Amino acid sequence: MNALMDWLKHLSRICGFETADSFPPGHAYARTRWVGAYFDIASDVKPDEVERRICDAIANTPLVFAHITNPTPRMQRALLGVIETRLRHNHRNDAAPLAALLIKAYQSPHTMECMPGLRHAIDSTRDEEAPYRVNALLAFLADDTQAPFDVIEMRP
């Protein structure tokens, strides 16, 4: 009976009847998880397309980033793009909640760094209050010497 149930679950996943909430086992970002209700991605969608759809969702509604655990570097760069746009248009108050989401994502040691120095910038304020941490991160991201979108992504 267990073998039959396992086979039916596998068949359901292959046919796309389930909503995906992670990459398949063995994938480079297998630790990345998301709440399926916020992204509604069928389980038969290829991993690259899944990541693209999640990045599009982040670009359109950046607060969905809160529903991702161990986001991939590409997902983080999608959020950084929104933060950069808001900083460029002097909407610092709108960028602050997004920076807080990024800080929260880096609480996990399994979150891969998407740009050099980002983890250090976040970890260096670990003992500070939340507003200070957010302001320090926004200052780091606003620094003209940073080039977050020129980073080449490497898969582990």
pLDDT digits (tens, 9 = 90+) for 72-108: 999 999 999 999 999 988 888 899 999 999 999 999 9
pTM for this entry: 0.82
b/e map of 53-74 (b: 16 or more CB within 10 Å)?
ebbebbeeebebbebbbbbbbb
Flag whether 126 is in a domain: yes
Q: Which domain holds residue 87?
A: 45-143
Flag whether 105 is in a domain: yes
> In which band, very low, low, confident or very high, does the pLDDT at 152 lie, cut at 50, 70 and 90?
very low
Domain count, the chain: 1
Give the length of the chain. Answer: 156
Flag whether 13 is in a domain: no
Flag whether 7 is in a domain: no
